[in-house]
């Protein structure tokens, strides 16, 4: 039974969230533009970077010298951007909830729904981080992939609200996929942080003033690690839950199906990242590169294996 | 983590001379973190061809097709075991080396760990102000402001914060977070457990499948399987002695929308006899809902149609009657292809090949096809061959393929320009073969593939997985740290207490621990004044 009205509401909410996210992205870009102009004009090195990383917005203002207008404007755009991001997230959440209600099941049963859910998870992870760290500067780098994912979801991957095929009718769908989809979101945020770390680290080494708004490379590396340390056990859980489900559906918990193989590759590469961080000569840049490789494997599994390579896990949903 | 520092930073040194020295050097290299890292990469890299090249264990048909299309390349792939990556010698070598490295690295680490757990928290360093987190408090002179009382207060506060506390001369040393190293060891050990579980499954497990048509039975013995893979240590006499009869296969499909024809529900209704002599009972097998029969699990596999036909030969004798499974070739409409072989027909053997169309339709591009998987307009479209079926050559033949090398196609008539005979039959229709006999389409039944699996390694593997996860959580989220407190009297006779902390992993909130102790000291010395050291200003929020 599919409730067409609710499915319609869901689609509209998703479109609305795309619009609001786009506005959020513009506002957050404006924040970058204004703040970099300001920072180019002033000696930033004087500002204790440690304070910038950890403290909330107001505290930063206390530490910094009298704020010039560009800075105030940047701050305003930043706040607007973050508020819009929250609004977009709520619309997005509402859209997914309606989709679930429309089909009387969890809204993650085909690629359109997986993609929308992982975009939602990426936003969720980012917004949760902003409550703990002062990382509004990360916003652009999360909202952009979220917009791309949602754009792809509503165009290429869109599937009408439908019931599930028998292979997916299992409570393991609820457990396994929510873990995988949340991992996808968190991996995205982790990758964004690792890229920023690499850029910042390069800037610090070459003494360039680009990205002076960002915290020190060390601090970025630490936050990136935190995110990856959060997502690695979750991904481990997703893989184990998937294995249990496979055992229940096909009688074997591991069969080296392409999807399983790439889940394994992704897992091993992220394990290598955690090892690299504890190995002399691999910490820092190389470890970040390993984390990005892991994200590449994850994306490969999601897009290439789902859409191109065939296997038992073909739920692209058309 | 500190207990592994020696292995973590071992820089490559040239190998020493002598066999023993060499061996020791090789072992150290193998069990170093760097080697573990490289092996992990190799493992990931090695798995890639296994996902892109068809694998015999996953999709044997695709392997055969690949071989036909690229015979040259296939022979190279064979040399490198690329059709069986995950059981190839080189892939096994990678993971076995990784396991050896893991065990070689776990044993000494476990030893160090056990020593660390039993040891007292380490002696208080001389210069506490050099530690990353440091505060000094000067207590107001009073009854409870002597150094011993202050230390006792601090120790109590630390114990409340679940630190292990050790008293030294004029100071205390406290530590917590041992669970991190425990978790790390448990995690790595569990990986070994998972691997053992997998090995047990390979050695003592079995997997098989059998195609069963509605109305037919299946008893769990070797001969009834179409496909059976048993582990080297599996005893076929241990197959659990059940019998199943497929009563009915029920399917429901999407009726409308762009997913019309997509599967929605499958159920195989079966009668089960658990062991010879047990009473029959009714049960059902659905996708995701296997049947558990005495250690074996029975899963619902693919399904399809088996048209039932009666064949009479040129002499009018019934030489074949029964349902013949056809294989689906189109997942949407479930058009199915198959053959009927009639070796007993006279004057010549007969072979029919063609399609079963559950809901038949016809257009010029596709010819006959099916628009819906349910039998709403069932048609059997066949052409006919006569001659030698080639069944006596001793070469095994597929029951789904007709070998027409020694056969000729039956024509509509005996005229020279006659077309090959092709007929579309509705249920009850008969096609007549001039001089050779006839075939009557009696009806159709459904078939399912039942997959049976037994895996005694699955519980250990699952337990290993769960343990690994628990260990991982402890290893990543427990934050070990040390706190030291030193109390002494200054020249004025007041008690000065220093509190300092050191993290043993990334990111514990040291300030909170130090603040906690300082608070306890101040509140027990109610009007205490403090001068925080400058080094601790503006602690980061993270
Ligand atoms: C079988 C393959 C292996 C996998 C999948 C694996 C996975 C992991 C993971 C996910 C972590 C992060 C959790 C943590 O920090 O405790 C970790 C940490 C660690 N692993 Fe492994 N590991 C493997 C083999 C090894 C080997 C062979 C060694 C010995 C050289 C080793 C030594 C370590 C050490 C010392 C840590 C702690 C690093 C830290 O302090 O963050 N691992 N491992």
Q: Consecutive sets of 10 residues in chain A, 318 residues long: mean pLDDT of each?
A: 85 96 95 67 43 42 52 87 96 96 89 94 95 88 96 90 83 92 96 94 83 84 93 97 92 89 95 90 90 96 81 49
Question: A275 CB under 6 A from ligand 1?
Answer: yes
Extended beta strands in B317-462, E state: 318-323, 327-328, 336-342, 349-357, 360-363, 367-370, 379-387, 407-409, 422-425, 430-433, 437-454
Domain that holds residue B509: 130-177+482-532
Q: How far, CA to CA in Å, does B441 sit from each of B298, B306, B323, B362, B428?
A: 32, 11, 10, 20, 5
Contact residues, chain A, for B541 at CB < 8 Å = 54-56, 132-134
B435 and B334, same structural domain? Answer: yes
Residue B171 lies in a domain: yes
CA separation, residue A77 to residues A25, A54, A137 (Å): 10, 21, 11
Contacts of A179 in chain B (CB under 8 A): none
The tens digit of pLDDT for each residue in B171-208 reads: 999 999 999 999 999 999 999 999 999 999 989 999 99
| Interface contact A251-B452, CB threshold 8 A | yes
Q: Tokens at residue B70, please?
A: 């690229």
Model confidence at B386: pLDDT above 60:
yes
Tell whether the model's pLDDT for residue B532 goes beyond 70. Answer: no
How many whole angstroms separate alpha carbon B144 and alpha carbon B152?
A: 10
How far is Cα A219 from Cα A133, in angstroms, rounded to an integer? 11
CB contact under 8 A, A278 and B52: no
d(CA A276, CA B329): 49
- Which structure tokens are listed for A110? 């085909």
Give the pLDDT mean for B261-276.
92
pLDDT tens-place string over residues B218-233: 999 999 999 898 888 9
| In contact, B38 and B12? CB cutoff 8 Å | no
Quote the CA–CA distance of B414 and B384 in Å, as a whole number.
14
Asked if residue B182 belongs to a domain, the reply is no
A129 contact partners, CB below 8 Å, separation of at least 6: A135, A138, A189, A223, A227
What is each CA distance from B218 to A31, B225, B242, B465, in whole angstroms? 70, 9, 9, 35
Token couple for B407: 């056969």
Give B48-86 pLDDT, tens digit per residue: 998 889 888 777 778 888 888 999 999 999 999 999 998
Mean pLDDT of chain B: 87
Whether B476 and A281 lie within 8 Å, measured CB to CB:
no
Which chain A residue has its CA at the smallest distance from B466's CA?
A: A240
Residues B353 and B292 in one domain: no
Structure tokens at B521: 């000291």
Structure tokens, A286: 């190389």
Mutation test residue for ligand 1: of A240, A265, A274, A287, the one with most atoms within 8 Å of CB: A274
Task: Give the C-alpha distances (Å, rounded to integers) separating A115 from A87, B378, B541.
Answer: 19, 40, 33
Q: Whose CA is nearest to atom 41 of ligand 1?
A: A278
Most confident of A169-173, A240-244, B387-391, B414-418: A240-244
Same domain, B315 and B441: yes
Q: Which of A55, A226, A232 is facing B541, going by the closest CB pair?
A: A55
Q: What's the gap between Cα B232 and its chain centre?
A: 21
| B471 CA closest ligand 1 atom index | 16
- Measured CA to CA, the distance from residue B370 to residue B360 in angstroms comes to 5
Q: How far apart are CA A136 and CA A156, in angstroms?
A: 31
Residue B235 CA to ligand 1 center (angstroms) comes to 38
**Residues B92-119, mean pLDDT to the nearest whole number:** 90
Lowest-pLDDT choice from A34-38, B160-164, B415-419:
A34-38
Would you call B81 helix, strand, or coil by DSSP?
A: coil
Give the pair of three-digit tokens for residue A92: 């997005």
Ligand 1 centre from B188 Cα, in Å?
A: 7
- Residue nearest (by alpha carbon) to ligand 1 atom 34: A275
For residues B457 and B508, membership in a common domain is answered with no
- Residue B265 bridge partners (DSSP): B252
Q: In this structure, which residue's CA is closest to atom 9 in ligand 1?
A: A271
Is the C-beta atom of B476 inside 6 A of ligand 1?
yes
Chain A: give the shortest CA distance to residue B263, in Å. Answer: 5
Preceding peptide of B347 cis, ω within 30°: yes
CA of B102 to the centre of ligand 1 (A): 8
Do B485 and B517 meet the contact criterion of CB atoms below 8 Å apart? Answer: yes
Report which ligand 1 atom has the smallest distance to the Cα of A236: 10
Contact A251 B476 (CB under 8 A): no
To the nearest whole percent, how much of chain B has pLDDT over 90?
54
What's the pLDDT band for B4 if we cut at 50, 70, 90? very low
Centre of ligand 1 to C-alpha A278, Å, is 9
What pLDDT was estimated at residue A239? 96
Q: Is A229 in contact with B476 (CB distance < 8 Å)?
A: yes
Which of B184, B190, B192 maximizes ligand 1 atoms within 8 Å of its Cβ, making it the mutation to test the pocket? B184
Distance between CA atoms of residues B434 and B411, nearest Å:
9
Contact A278 CB / ligand 1 (< 6 Å): yes
Domain contains B43: yes
- My answer on whether B420 and B456 are in the same domain is no
| Short-list B303, B363, B360, B292, CA closest to B327 | B303
pLDDT value of residue B59: 78
Q: How far is the CA of A233 from the centre of ligand 1 (A)?
A: 13
| Secondary structure tally for chain B: helices H, strands E | 10, 25
Strand order in the sheet with B263-273: B217-219, B243-253, B263-273, B281-285
Q: Hey, which residues does B352 pair with through a beta bridge?
A: B340, B384
- Residue B316 sits in the same domain as residue B415: yes
In angstroms, the Cα distances linking B406 to A21, A125, A171, B393, B403 are 69, 68, 54, 12, 8
Residue B190 CB–ligand 1 contact under 6 Å: no
Domain boundaries, chain A: 4-316
- State which of B2, B183, B187 you would mutate to test the pocket of ligand 1, scoring each by most atoms of that ligand within 8 A of its C-beta: B187
Which pTM was predicted? 0.85
For the Cβ of B105 lying below 6 angstroms from any atom of ligand 1, the answer is: yes
DSSP helix/strand/coil, A283: coil
Distance CA B64, CA B54 (A): 9
Distance CA A196, CA A209 (A): 14
Q: Answer yes or no: do B36 and B92 share one domain.
A: yes
The CA-based diameter of chain A, rounded to the nearest angstrom, is: 67
Quote the tokens at residue B104. Answer: 């070689």
Same domain, B426 and B505: no
Residue B364: partners with Cβ closer than 8 Å, 6 or more residues away:
none
The torsion of the CA quartet A244, A245, A248, A250, rounded to 10 degrees, works out to: -110
Q: Is B372 helix (H, G, I), strand (E, B) or coil?
A: coil
> Within this chain, do residues B280 and B314 fall inside the same structural domain, yes or no?
no
Burial of residue B236 (CB within 10 Å: 0-12, 13-18, 19+) is: exposed
- And the tokens for B242? 């059940």
Residue B524: per-residue pLDDT: 80
How far apart are alpha carbons B12 and A281 in whole angstroms? 12
What is the reported pLDDT for B339?
A: 94
- Reported for B161-169, long-range contacts at CB under 8 A and 24+ positions apart, including other chains, are B161/B513, B161/B516, B163/B483, B163/B513, B164/B121, B165/B121, B166/B120, B166/B121, B168/B123, B168/B124
Residue B180 CA: nearest ligand 1 atom is 16
Neighbours of B132 (CB within 10 A): 14
Mark yes or no for CB contact A54/B37 under 8 Å: no
Residues of A in contact with B47 (CB under 8 A): 261, 264-265, 268
Tell me what pLDDT residue B486 has.
92
Count chain A–chain B contacts defined by CB atoms under 8 A.
Answer: 164
> What phi and psi values does residue B437 have, to the nearest 5 degrees?
130, -150
Looking at chain B, how many residues does it have? 542
| Radius of gyration in angstroms for the set of CA atoms belonging to chain A, rounded to a whole number | 21
Residue A196: both structure tokens together: 């920023």
- The per-residue pLDDT for range A292-312, each reduced to its tens digit, is 999 999 999 998 888 877 655
Give strand pairing partners of B363.
B367
Q: How far is A167 from chain B (nearest CA, A)?
A: 6
**B191 found inside a domain:** no
CATH code at B507?
3.30.310.80
As a whole number of angstroms, the distance between CA B350 and CA B330 comes to 27
Closest residue CA from atom 17 of ligand 1: A275
pLDDT at B340 over 90: yes
Cα distances (Å, whole numbers) of residue B398 to B312, B339, B341: 23, 10, 11
Nearest-CA neighbor of B275 among B214, B212, B219, B234? B219
User: What pLDDT is stored for residue A251 in this prediction?
Assistant: 85
Query: Are the beta carbons of A134 and A143 closer than 8 angstroms?
Result: no
**Distance, CA B469 to ligand 1 centroid (Å)?**
13
Tokens matching residue B283: 């049960």
Q: Please, what is the Cα angle at B259 between B255 and B263, to 5 degrees? A: 70
Is the Cβ–Cβ distance between B301 and B229 less than 8 Å? no
| Ligand 1 site, residue B185, Cβ cutoff 6 A | no
Asked if residue B33 has its Cβ within 6 Å of ligand 1, the reply is yes
Beta partners for residue B422, in sequence order: B383
A291 SS3 class: helix
Number of domains in chain B: 4
Distance CA B36, CA B97 (A): 9
Would you put residue B35 in left (φ > 0), alpha (ψ -120 to 50) or beta? Answer: alpha
User: Closest ligand 1 atom, CA of B105?
Assistant: 29
Contact across the interface for A262 and B462, Cβ inside 8 Å: no
**Running DSSP on this structure, what letter comes out for residue A302?**
I
Based on the fold, state whether residues B297 and B377 are members of the same structural domain: no
Distance of CA B347 to the CA centre of its chain: 55
3 state DSSP class of B248: strand
SS3 content of chain A, % helix, strand, coil (to 5): 75, 0, 25
**Structure-model confidence comparison of residues B310 and B530, the more confident one:** B310
Residue corresponding to tokens 């360093």: B125
The pair phi, psi for residue A114, each rounded to 5°, is: -60, -45
Whether B37 and A282 lie within 8 Å, measured CB to CB: yes
Residues of chain B with C-beta less than 8 angstroms from the C-beta of A226: 507, 542
State both tokens at B423.
């007929």
* Same domain as B284, residue B246: yes
User: Which pLDDT score is estimated for B15?
Assistant: 62
């Amino acid at each position: 039974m599919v409730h067409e009205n609710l499915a319609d509401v869901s689609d509209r909410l998703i479109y609305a969230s795309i619009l609001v996210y786009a506005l959020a992205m513009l506002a957050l870009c404006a924040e970058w533009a204004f703040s970099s102009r300001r920072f180019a004009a002033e000696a930033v090195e004087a500002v204790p970077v440690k304070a910038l990383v950890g403290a909330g917005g107001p505290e930063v203002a206390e530490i910094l010298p009298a704020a010039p207008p560009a800075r105030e404007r940047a701050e305003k755009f930043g706040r607007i951007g973050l508020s819009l991001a929250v609004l977009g997230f709520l619309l997005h959440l509402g859209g997914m909830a309606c989709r679930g209600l429309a089909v009387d099941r969890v809204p993650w049963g085909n690629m359109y729904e997986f993609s929308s859910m992982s975009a939602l998870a990426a936003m969720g992870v980012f917004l949760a981080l902003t409550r703990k760290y002062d990382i509004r500067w990360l916003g652009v780098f999360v909202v952009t992939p979220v917009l791309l994912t949602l754009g792809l979801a509503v165009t290429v991957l869109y599937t009408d609200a439908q019931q599930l095929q028998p292979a997916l009718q299992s409570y393991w769908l609820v457990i396994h996929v929510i873990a995988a989809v949340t991992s996808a979101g968190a991996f995205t945020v982790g990758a964004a942080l690792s890229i920023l770390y690499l850029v910042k680290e390069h800037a610090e080494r070459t003494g360039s003033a680009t990205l002076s708004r960002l915290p020190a490379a060390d601090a970025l590396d630490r936050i990136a690690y935190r995110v990856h340390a959060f997502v690695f056990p979750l991904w481990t859980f997703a893989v184990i839950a998937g294995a249990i489900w496979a055992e229940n559906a096909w009688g074997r918990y591991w069969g080296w199906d392409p999807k399983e193989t790439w889940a394994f590759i992704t897992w091993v590469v992220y394990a290598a990242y955690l090892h690299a961080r504890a190995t002399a000569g691999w910490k820092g840049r190389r470890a970040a590169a390993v984390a990005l490789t892991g994200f590449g494997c994850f994306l490969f599994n999601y897009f290439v294996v789902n859409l191109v390579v065939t296997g038992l896990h073909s739920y692209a949903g058309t | 983590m500190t207990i592994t520092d020696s292995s973590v930073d071992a820089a490559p040194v040239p190998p020493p001379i002598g066999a023993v020295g060499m061996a020791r050097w090789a072992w150290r290299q193998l069990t170093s973190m760097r080697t573990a890292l490289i092996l992990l990469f190799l493992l990931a890299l090695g798995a890639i061809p296994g996902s892109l090249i068809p694998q015999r264990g996953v999709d044997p048909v695709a392997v055969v097709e690949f071989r036909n299309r690229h015979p040259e390349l296939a022979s190279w792939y064979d040399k490198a075991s690329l059709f069986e990556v995950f059981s190839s010698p080189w892939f096994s070598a990678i993971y076995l080396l990784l396991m050896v490295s893991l065990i070689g690295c776990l044993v000494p680490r476990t030893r160090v760990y056990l020593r660390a757990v039993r040891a007292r928290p380490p002696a208080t360093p001389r210069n506490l102000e050099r530690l990353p987190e440091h505060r000094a408090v000067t207590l107001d002179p009073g009854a409870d402001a002597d150094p011993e009382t202050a230390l006792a207060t601090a120790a109590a506060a630390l114990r409340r914060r679940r630190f292990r506390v050790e008293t030294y001369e004029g100071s205390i040393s406290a530590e917590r977070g041992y669970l991190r190293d425990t978790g790390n060891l448990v995690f790595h050990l569990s990986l070994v457990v998972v691997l053992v579980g997998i090995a047990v499954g390979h050695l003592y497990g079995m997997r098989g499948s059998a195609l069963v048509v509605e109305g037919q039975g299946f008893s769990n013995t070797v001969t009834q399987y179409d496909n059976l893979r048993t582990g080297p240590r599996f005893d076929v006499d241990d197959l659990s002695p059940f019998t199943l009869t497929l009563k009915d296969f029920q399917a429901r499909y999407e009726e409308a929308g762009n997913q019309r024809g997509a599967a929605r529900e499958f159920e195989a209704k079966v009668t089960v006899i658990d062991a010879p002599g047990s009473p029959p009972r009714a049960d059902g097998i659905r996708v995701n809902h296997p049947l558990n029969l005495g250690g074996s699990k029975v899963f619902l596999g693919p399904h399809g149609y088996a048209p039932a036909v009666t064949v009479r030969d040129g002499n009018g004798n019934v030489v074949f009657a029964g349902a013949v499974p056809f294989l689906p070739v189109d997942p949407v409409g479930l058009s199915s292809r198959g053959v009927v072989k009639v070796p007993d027909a006279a004057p010549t053997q007969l072979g029919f090949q063609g399609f079963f169309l559950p809901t038949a339709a016809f257009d010029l591009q596709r010819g006959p096809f099916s628009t819906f998987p349910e039998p709403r307009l069932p048609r059997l479209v066949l052409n006919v061959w006569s001659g030698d079926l080639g069944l006596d050559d001793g070469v095994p033949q597929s029951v789904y393929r007709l070998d027409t090398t020694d056969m000729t196609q039956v024509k509509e008539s005996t005229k020279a320009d006659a077309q090959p005979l092709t007929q579309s039959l509705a249920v009850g229709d008969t096609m007549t073969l001039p001089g050779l006999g006839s075939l009557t389409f009696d009806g159709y039944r459904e078939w399912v593939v039942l997959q049976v699996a037994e895996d005694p390694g699955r519980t250990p593997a699952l337990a290993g997985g769960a343990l690994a996860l628990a260990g991982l959580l402890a290893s990543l989220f427990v934050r070990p740290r040390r706190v030291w407190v030193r109390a002494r009297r200054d020249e004025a006779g007041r008690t000065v207490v220093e509190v300092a902390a050191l993290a043993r992993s990334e990111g514990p909130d040291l300030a909170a621990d130090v603040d906690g102790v300082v608070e306890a000291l101040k509140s027990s010395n109610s009007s205490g004044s403090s001068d925080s050291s400058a080094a601790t200003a503006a602690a980061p929020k993270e």
